[in-house]
Amino acid sequence: LRASFASKAQKENSQKFNYQLQPQASYKVAVLGAAGGIGQPLSLLIKMSPLVSDLHLYDIANVKGVAADISHCNTPSQVKDFTGASELANCLNGVNVVVIPAGVPRKPGMTRDDLFNINAGIVRDLVSAVADNCPGAFILIISNPVNSTVPIAAEVLKQKGVYDPKKLFGVTTLDVVRANTFVAQRKNLKLIDVDVPVVGGHAGITILPLLSKTRPSASFTDEEVEELTVRIQNAGTEVVEAKAGAGSATLSMAYAAARFVESSLRALDGDGDVYECSFVQSDLTDLPFFASRVKLGKKGIEALIPSDLQGLTDYEQKALEALKPELKSSIEKGIAFAQKQA
Ligand code: NAI
Protein backbone atom coordinates (compact mmCIF):
# COMPACT_ATOMS: atom_id res chain seq x y z
CA LEU A 1 0.00 0.00 0.00
CA ARG A 2 2.81 2.36 0.83
CA ALA A 3 4.10 1.90 -2.72
CA SER A 4 0.85 3.15 -4.18
CA PHE A 5 0.91 6.38 -2.18
CA ALA A 6 4.63 7.15 -2.80
CA SER A 7 5.58 10.32 -4.70
CA LYS A 8 6.99 10.06 -8.22
CA ALA A 9 10.51 10.82 -7.00
CA GLN A 10 10.28 8.23 -4.24
CA LYS A 11 9.03 5.68 -6.75
CA GLU A 12 11.78 6.39 -9.27
CA ASN A 13 14.39 6.09 -6.55
CA SER A 14 13.01 2.87 -5.23
CA GLN A 15 12.65 1.51 -8.75
CA LYS A 16 16.27 2.34 -9.46
CA PHE A 17 17.75 0.93 -6.29
CA ASN A 18 15.22 -1.58 -5.17
CA TYR A 19 13.45 -2.77 -8.25
CA GLN A 20 12.95 -6.37 -7.17
CA LEU A 21 11.08 -5.26 -4.07
CA GLN A 22 8.45 -3.37 -6.06
CA PRO A 23 5.38 -5.54 -6.44
CA GLN A 24 4.04 -5.93 -9.97
CA ALA A 25 0.46 -4.83 -10.53
CA SER A 26 -0.58 -7.86 -12.53
CA TYR A 27 -3.56 -9.58 -10.94
CA LYS A 28 -7.22 -9.30 -11.82
CA VAL A 29 -9.71 -9.14 -8.96
CA ALA A 30 -13.52 -9.23 -9.22
CA VAL A 31 -15.88 -8.09 -6.46
CA LEU A 32 -19.41 -9.52 -6.81
CA GLY A 33 -21.85 -7.37 -4.83
CA ALA A 34 -19.58 -4.35 -5.20
CA ALA A 35 -22.28 -1.70 -4.69
CA GLY A 36 -23.21 -2.94 -1.22
CA GLY A 37 -22.28 -1.86 2.28
CA ILE A 38 -19.26 -4.15 2.30
CA GLY A 39 -18.65 -4.11 -1.46
CA GLN A 40 -17.99 -0.37 -1.72
CA PRO A 41 -15.32 0.09 0.95
CA LEU A 42 -13.85 -3.31 0.04
CA SER A 43 -13.51 -2.24 -3.59
CA LEU A 44 -11.86 1.00 -2.49
CA LEU A 45 -9.34 -0.88 -0.32
CA ILE A 46 -8.57 -3.32 -3.14
CA LYS A 47 -8.01 -0.30 -5.43
CA MET A 48 -5.17 0.65 -3.04
CA SER A 49 -3.31 -2.59 -3.71
CA PRO A 50 -0.13 -2.31 -5.78
CA LEU A 51 -0.62 -5.94 -6.89
CA VAL A 52 -3.89 -5.39 -8.76
CA SER A 53 -3.91 -4.51 -12.47
CA ASP A 54 -7.67 -4.85 -13.10
CA LEU A 55 -10.52 -4.38 -10.66
CA HIS A 56 -13.88 -5.64 -11.92
CA LEU A 57 -16.92 -4.46 -9.96
CA TYR A 58 -20.17 -6.37 -10.40
CA ASP A 59 -23.62 -5.88 -8.90
CA ILE A 60 -27.25 -6.16 -9.95
CA ALA A 61 -27.64 -2.36 -9.58
CA ASN A 62 -25.87 0.90 -8.73
CA VAL A 63 -22.35 -0.21 -9.55
CA LYS A 64 -21.62 2.27 -12.35
CA GLY A 65 -21.28 5.20 -9.96
CA VAL A 66 -19.20 3.24 -7.48
CA ALA A 67 -16.78 2.25 -10.24
CA ALA A 68 -16.59 5.79 -11.67
CA ASP A 69 -15.88 7.17 -8.21
CA ILE A 70 -13.20 4.63 -7.27
CA SER A 71 -11.57 4.81 -10.71
CA HIS A 72 -10.38 8.36 -9.98
CA CYS A 73 -7.92 7.16 -7.31
CA ASN A 74 -4.45 7.32 -8.87
CA THR A 75 -3.42 3.78 -8.01
CA PRO A 76 -2.38 1.21 -10.65
CA SER A 77 -5.55 -0.80 -11.26
CA GLN A 78 -8.04 -0.18 -14.06
CA VAL A 79 -11.61 -0.24 -12.73
CA LYS A 80 -14.50 -1.58 -14.82
CA ASP A 81 -18.17 -1.91 -13.91
CA PHE A 82 -20.54 -4.74 -14.81
CA THR A 83 -24.29 -4.67 -14.14
CA GLY A 84 -26.63 -7.64 -14.09
CA ALA A 85 -26.38 -11.29 -15.06
CA SER A 86 -25.79 -10.56 -18.76
CA GLU A 87 -22.46 -8.87 -17.91
CA LEU A 88 -21.27 -11.39 -15.33
CA ALA A 89 -19.30 -13.60 -17.73
CA ASN A 90 -17.31 -10.61 -19.03
CA CYS A 91 -16.66 -9.51 -15.47
CA LEU A 92 -15.17 -12.88 -14.55
CA ASN A 93 -13.15 -13.62 -17.65
CA GLY A 94 -9.46 -14.10 -16.77
CA VAL A 95 -9.89 -13.12 -13.12
CA ASN A 96 -7.42 -14.46 -10.51
CA VAL A 97 -9.33 -13.68 -7.31
CA VAL A 98 -13.12 -13.44 -6.93
CA VAL A 99 -14.54 -11.95 -3.72
CA ILE A 100 -18.24 -12.42 -3.02
CA PRO A 101 -19.96 -10.03 -0.57
CA ALA A 102 -23.31 -10.24 -2.48
CA GLY A 103 -26.44 -10.92 -0.49
CA VAL A 104 -28.63 -9.53 2.24
CA PRO A 105 -27.16 -8.56 5.61
CA ARG A 106 -28.57 -9.39 9.03
CA LYS A 107 -31.18 -7.12 10.63
CA PRO A 108 -31.78 -6.99 14.41
CA GLY A 109 -33.34 -10.22 15.61
CA MET A 110 -32.17 -12.20 12.59
CA THR A 111 -29.60 -14.95 12.95
CA ARG A 112 -27.14 -15.73 10.19
CA ASP A 113 -29.18 -18.79 9.40
CA ASP A 114 -32.26 -16.62 8.75
CA LEU A 115 -30.36 -15.28 5.77
CA PHE A 116 -29.94 -18.74 4.41
CA ASN A 117 -32.66 -18.95 1.80
CA ILE A 118 -31.86 -15.68 0.04
CA ASN A 119 -28.09 -15.81 0.19
CA ALA A 120 -27.81 -19.53 -0.61
CA GLY A 121 -29.38 -18.95 -4.03
CA ILE A 122 -27.25 -15.87 -4.73
CA VAL A 123 -24.01 -17.68 -3.89
CA ARG A 124 -25.05 -20.74 -5.92
CA ASP A 125 -25.67 -18.65 -9.04
CA LEU A 126 -22.53 -16.51 -8.71
CA VAL A 127 -20.24 -19.49 -8.07
CA SER A 128 -21.78 -21.29 -11.02
CA ALA A 129 -20.72 -18.34 -13.20
CA VAL A 130 -17.24 -18.43 -11.66
CA ALA A 131 -17.01 -22.13 -12.55
CA ASP A 132 -17.92 -21.33 -16.16
CA ASN A 133 -15.68 -18.30 -16.65
CA CYS A 134 -12.65 -18.41 -14.31
CA PRO A 135 -12.51 -21.90 -12.77
CA GLY A 136 -8.90 -21.49 -11.65
CA ALA A 137 -9.54 -18.39 -9.52
CA PHE A 138 -9.29 -18.15 -5.75
CA ILE A 139 -12.91 -17.81 -4.54
CA LEU A 140 -13.44 -15.83 -1.33
CA ILE A 141 -16.94 -16.13 0.14
CA ILE A 142 -18.14 -13.39 2.49
CA SER A 143 -21.93 -13.86 2.08
CA ASN A 144 -23.46 -15.35 5.22
CA PRO A 145 -24.11 -17.90 6.58
CA VAL A 146 -20.51 -18.74 5.63
CA ASN A 147 -20.87 -22.11 7.44
CA SER A 148 -23.38 -23.07 4.72
CA THR A 149 -22.46 -20.89 1.73
CA VAL A 150 -18.95 -22.37 1.44
CA PRO A 151 -20.28 -25.96 1.26
CA ILE A 152 -22.84 -24.74 -1.31
CA ALA A 153 -20.02 -23.25 -3.39
CA ALA A 154 -18.06 -26.52 -3.14
CA GLU A 155 -21.06 -28.55 -4.35
CA VAL A 156 -21.69 -26.19 -7.29
CA LEU A 157 -18.03 -26.41 -8.31
CA LYS A 158 -18.15 -30.22 -8.00
CA GLN A 159 -21.28 -30.34 -10.17
CA LYS A 160 -19.38 -28.33 -12.79
CA GLY A 161 -16.34 -30.61 -12.48
CA VAL A 162 -13.95 -27.80 -11.48
CA TYR A 163 -13.79 -28.02 -7.68
CA ASP A 164 -10.34 -27.31 -6.27
CA PRO A 165 -10.64 -27.34 -2.46
CA LYS A 166 -7.35 -25.46 -2.22
CA LYS A 167 -8.92 -22.40 -3.83
CA LEU A 168 -12.24 -22.05 -2.00
CA PHE A 169 -12.22 -19.89 1.12
CA GLY A 170 -14.83 -18.74 3.63
CA VAL A 171 -13.69 -15.32 4.83
CA THR A 172 -13.49 -15.47 8.64
CA THR A 173 -10.80 -12.80 8.89
CA LEU A 174 -13.17 -10.45 10.71
CA ASP A 175 -13.27 -12.88 13.65
CA VAL A 176 -9.47 -12.76 13.82
CA VAL A 177 -9.41 -8.97 13.47
CA ARG A 178 -11.94 -8.62 16.29
CA ALA A 179 -10.14 -11.14 18.50
CA ASN A 180 -6.85 -9.30 18.01
CA THR A 181 -8.45 -5.94 18.82
CA PHE A 182 -10.37 -7.09 21.91
CA VAL A 183 -7.43 -9.06 23.34
CA ALA A 184 -5.00 -6.18 22.80
CA GLN A 185 -7.42 -3.79 24.54
CA ARG A 186 -8.08 -6.15 27.47
CA LYS A 187 -4.40 -7.04 28.03
CA ASN A 188 -2.91 -3.65 27.14
CA LEU A 189 -0.82 -5.10 24.32
CA LYS A 190 0.44 -3.32 21.25
CA LEU A 191 -2.33 -4.07 18.77
CA ILE A 192 -0.13 -4.52 15.73
CA ASP A 193 1.73 -7.42 17.42
CA VAL A 194 -1.28 -9.44 18.58
CA ASP A 195 -2.38 -12.54 16.70
CA VAL A 196 -5.16 -14.81 17.95
CA PRO A 197 -6.07 -17.83 15.81
CA VAL A 198 -9.83 -18.32 15.47
CA VAL A 199 -11.04 -21.77 14.43
CA GLY A 200 -14.31 -23.66 13.86
CA GLY A 201 -16.89 -21.74 11.85
CA HIS A 202 -18.34 -18.27 11.41
CA ALA A 203 -21.53 -18.01 13.49
CA GLY A 204 -22.19 -17.83 17.24
CA ILE A 205 -20.58 -20.62 19.23
CA THR A 206 -18.96 -22.08 16.12
CA ILE A 207 -16.53 -19.14 16.29
CA LEU A 208 -13.78 -20.38 18.60
CA PRO A 209 -10.93 -17.98 19.42
CA LEU A 210 -7.96 -19.93 20.75
CA LEU A 211 -6.83 -17.45 23.37
CA SER A 212 -4.25 -19.89 24.73
CA LYS A 213 -2.46 -19.60 21.37
CA THR A 214 -2.31 -15.79 21.42
CA ARG A 215 0.96 -14.40 20.17
CA PRO A 216 2.82 -12.80 21.87
CA SER A 217 1.83 -15.18 24.65
CA ALA A 218 -0.54 -13.71 27.19
CA SER A 219 -2.23 -15.22 30.23
CA PHE A 220 -5.93 -14.95 30.87
CA THR A 221 -8.04 -15.64 33.96
CA ASP A 222 -11.03 -17.96 33.48
CA GLU A 223 -13.31 -14.92 33.64
CA GLU A 224 -11.31 -13.12 30.93
CA VAL A 225 -11.44 -16.19 28.68
CA GLU A 226 -15.21 -16.43 29.07
CA GLU A 227 -15.78 -12.71 28.60
CA LEU A 228 -13.49 -12.37 25.56
CA THR A 229 -14.74 -15.55 23.88
CA VAL A 230 -18.39 -14.50 24.21
CA ARG A 231 -17.60 -10.96 23.03
CA ILE A 232 -15.76 -12.22 19.93
CA GLN A 233 -18.60 -14.65 19.15
CA ASN A 234 -21.24 -11.93 19.48
CA ALA A 235 -19.32 -9.00 18.03
CA GLY A 236 -21.42 -9.13 14.85
CA THR A 237 -24.55 -8.66 16.93
CA GLU A 238 -22.93 -5.67 18.71
CA VAL A 239 -22.71 -3.96 15.31
CA VAL A 240 -26.15 -5.10 14.09
CA GLU A 241 -27.76 -3.64 17.24
CA ALA A 242 -25.73 -0.40 17.13
CA LYS A 243 -26.75 0.12 13.49
CA ALA A 244 -30.36 -0.45 14.58
CA GLY A 245 -31.82 -1.72 11.32
CA ALA A 246 -29.26 -0.23 8.94
CA GLY A 247 -27.41 -3.50 8.36
CA SER A 248 -24.45 -5.37 9.82
CA ALA A 249 -20.67 -4.88 9.94
CA THR A 250 -19.50 -3.35 6.67
CA LEU A 251 -16.41 -1.21 7.30
CA SER A 252 -14.51 -3.59 9.58
CA MET A 253 -15.62 -6.42 7.29
CA ALA A 254 -14.27 -4.60 4.25
CA TYR A 255 -10.98 -4.07 6.11
CA ALA A 256 -10.81 -7.76 7.05
CA ALA A 257 -11.68 -8.98 3.54
CA ALA A 258 -9.17 -6.59 1.96
CA ARG A 259 -6.53 -8.14 4.19
CA PHE A 260 -7.50 -11.61 2.95
CA VAL A 261 -7.46 -10.44 -0.69
CA GLU A 262 -4.01 -8.90 -0.21
CA SER A 263 -2.77 -12.13 1.40
CA SER A 264 -4.15 -14.11 -1.56
CA LEU A 265 -2.39 -11.80 -4.01
CA ARG A 266 0.90 -11.98 -2.11
CA ALA A 267 0.62 -15.79 -2.17
CA LEU A 268 -0.11 -15.77 -5.92
CA ASP A 269 2.88 -13.50 -6.34
CA GLY A 270 5.20 -16.05 -4.73
CA ASP A 271 5.53 -14.77 -1.16
CA GLY A 272 6.32 -17.92 0.81
CA ASP A 273 5.22 -16.62 4.20
CA VAL A 274 1.46 -16.04 4.00
CA TYR A 275 -0.85 -17.44 6.68
CA GLU A 276 -4.52 -16.65 7.32
CA CYS A 277 -7.39 -18.27 9.20
CA SER A 278 -10.15 -19.37 6.83
CA PHE A 279 -13.16 -21.71 6.68
CA VAL A 280 -12.08 -24.36 4.18
CA GLN A 281 -12.40 -28.02 3.29
CA SER A 282 -10.43 -29.68 6.04
CA ASP A 283 -9.34 -32.96 7.57
CA LEU A 284 -8.18 -31.45 10.86
CA THR A 285 -11.37 -32.63 12.60
CA ASP A 286 -14.14 -35.07 11.72
CA LEU A 287 -16.06 -32.23 9.98
CA PRO A 288 -15.65 -31.77 6.20
CA PHE A 289 -15.17 -28.00 6.51
CA PHE A 290 -13.43 -26.23 9.37
CA ALA A 291 -11.79 -22.85 9.93
CA SER A 292 -8.14 -22.93 10.90
CA ARG A 293 -4.92 -21.23 10.00
CA VAL A 294 -3.82 -22.15 6.50
CA LYS A 295 -0.62 -21.50 4.59
CA LEU A 296 -1.31 -19.86 1.25
CA GLY A 297 0.76 -20.34 -1.89
CA LYS A 298 0.54 -19.86 -5.64
CA LYS A 299 -1.89 -22.75 -6.03
CA GLY A 300 -4.06 -21.86 -3.05
CA ILE A 301 -3.84 -23.68 0.27
CA GLU A 302 -0.40 -25.25 0.66
CA ALA A 303 -1.07 -26.62 4.12
CA LEU A 304 -3.59 -26.62 6.93
CA ILE A 305 -1.89 -25.74 10.22
CA PRO A 306 -2.80 -28.40 12.79
CA SER A 307 -0.60 -27.13 15.63
CA ASP A 308 -3.14 -24.57 16.90
CA LEU A 309 -5.50 -27.46 17.70
CA GLN A 310 -2.91 -29.30 19.75
CA GLY A 311 -2.60 -28.71 23.49
CA LEU A 312 -5.92 -26.92 23.87
CA THR A 313 -7.08 -25.81 27.32
CA ASP A 314 -10.04 -27.65 28.86
CA TYR A 315 -12.26 -24.65 28.06
CA GLU A 316 -11.20 -24.67 24.40
CA GLN A 317 -11.50 -28.45 24.08
CA LYS A 318 -15.04 -28.39 25.49
CA ALA A 319 -15.99 -25.45 23.26
CA LEU A 320 -14.60 -27.31 20.25
CA GLU A 321 -16.71 -30.37 20.99
CA ALA A 322 -19.75 -28.17 21.68
CA LEU A 323 -19.55 -26.33 18.36
CA LYS A 324 -19.32 -29.45 16.20
CA PRO A 325 -23.03 -30.43 16.06
CA GLU A 326 -24.11 -26.90 15.04
CA LEU A 327 -21.33 -26.57 12.48
CA LYS A 328 -22.07 -30.04 11.11
CA SER A 329 -25.74 -29.22 10.63
CA SER A 330 -24.99 -25.88 8.90
CA ILE A 331 -22.58 -27.66 6.53
CA GLU A 332 -25.15 -30.37 5.80
CA LYS A 333 -27.84 -27.74 5.22
CA GLY A 334 -25.64 -26.12 2.57
CA ILE A 335 -24.80 -29.40 0.86
CA ALA A 336 -28.47 -30.48 0.85
CA PHE A 337 -29.52 -27.12 -0.66
CA ALA A 338 -26.99 -27.43 -3.49
CA GLN A 339 -27.78 -31.09 -4.18
CA LYS A 340 -31.54 -30.48 -4.21
CA GLN A 341 -31.12 -27.75 -6.81
CA ALA A 342 -28.80 -29.76 -9.06
P1 NAI B 1 -25.77 -4.94 1.36
O2 NAI B 1 -27.21 -5.23 1.23
O3 NAI B 1 -25.36 -3.57 1.77
O4 NAI B 1 -25.03 -5.27 -0.01
C5 NAI B 1 -25.25 -6.45 -0.70
C6 NAI B 1 -25.05 -6.17 -2.17
O7 NAI B 1 -25.22 -7.40 -2.86
C8 NAI B 1 -26.05 -5.15 -2.75
O9 NAI B 1 -25.35 -4.15 -3.46
C10 NAI B 1 -26.92 -6.01 -3.67
O11 NAI B 1 -27.37 -5.30 -4.81
C12 NAI B 1 -25.92 -7.09 -4.04
N13 NAI B 1 -26.57 -8.29 -4.59
C14 NAI B 1 -27.72 -8.88 -4.22
N15 NAI B 1 -27.97 -9.94 -5.01
C16 NAI B 1 -26.94 -10.02 -5.89
C17 NAI B 1 -26.62 -10.88 -6.95
N18 NAI B 1 -27.41 -11.91 -7.28
N19 NAI B 1 -25.47 -10.66 -7.62
C20 NAI B 1 -24.66 -9.65 -7.30
N21 NAI B 1 -24.91 -8.78 -6.30
C22 NAI B 1 -26.05 -8.97 -5.61
O23 NAI B 1 -25.15 -6.04 2.37
P24 NAI B 1 -23.72 -6.01 3.11
O25 NAI B 1 -23.86 -5.37 4.42
O26 NAI B 1 -22.70 -5.54 2.15
O27 NAI B 1 -23.53 -7.59 3.39
C28 NAI B 1 -23.30 -8.50 2.34
C29 NAI B 1 -23.16 -9.93 2.87
O30 NAI B 1 -22.01 -10.08 3.67
C31 NAI B 1 -24.33 -10.39 3.73
O32 NAI B 1 -24.64 -11.71 3.39
C33 NAI B 1 -23.76 -10.34 5.12
O34 NAI B 1 -24.42 -11.20 6.01
C35 NAI B 1 -22.35 -10.79 4.88
N36 NAI B 1 -21.40 -10.48 5.94
C37 NAI B 1 -20.37 -11.34 6.14
C38 NAI B 1 -19.44 -11.13 7.13
C39 NAI B 1 -18.31 -12.11 7.31
O40 NAI B 1 -17.57 -11.96 8.29
N41 NAI B 1 -18.09 -13.05 6.43
C42 NAI B 1 -19.54 -9.97 8.03
C43 NAI B 1 -20.61 -9.08 7.69
C44 NAI B 1 -21.52 -9.36 6.71
Helix axes 173-187, 251-268, angle to 10 degrees: 110
Protein residue whose Cα sits closest to atom 31 of ligand 1 = 105
Q: Of residues 178, 202, 328, 333, which has the active-site annotation?
A: 202
Per-residue confidence (pLDDT) for residue 114, from 0 to 100: 75
Does residue 202 have an active-site annotation?
yes
Residue 193 CA to ligand 1 center (angstroms) comes to 31
pLDDT digit string, tens, across residues 59-91? 999 999 999 999 999 999 999 999 999 999 999
Angle 210-236-315 from CA coordinates, rounded to 5°:
25
pLDDT of residue 22: 61
Q: Express each pLDDT in 186-216 by its tens digit.
A: 999 999 999 999 999 999 999 999 999 999 9
| Any atom of ligand 1 within 6 Å of the Cβ of 115 | yes
pLDDT of residue 17: 47
Least confident of 18-32, 40-54, 90-104, 161-175: 18-32
The rounded mean pLDDT for the chain is 93
Axis-axis angle for helices 63-71, 39-47 (nearest 10): 30
For the stretch 152-183, pLDDT in tens is 999 999 999 999 999 999 999 999 999 999 99
**Of residues 23 and 322, more confidently modeled:** 322
CA dist., res. 235 & res. 245, Å (int): 16
Integer CA distances (angstroms), 53 to 64, 80, 94, 196, in order = 19, 11, 12, 32
The CA distances from residue 28 to 89, 94, 229, 332, in Å, are 14, 7, 37, 33
Tens-place pLDDT, residues 208-266? 999 999 999 999 999 999 999 999 999 999 999 999 988 899 999 999 999 999 999 99
- Does ligand 1 have an atom closer than 6 angstroms to the CB of 103? yes
CA angle 127, 266, 272 (to 5 degrees): 115
Predicted TM-score (pTM) of this structure: 0.94
Our mutation pick for probing the ligand 1 site, out of 99, 143, 207, 277, counting the most ligand atoms within 8 A of Cβ, is 143
Q: How confident is the model at residue 8 (pLDDT cuts 50, 70, 90)?
A: low
Atom of ligand 1 nearest to the CA of 253: 42
Q: pLDDT at residue 19 above 50?
A: no
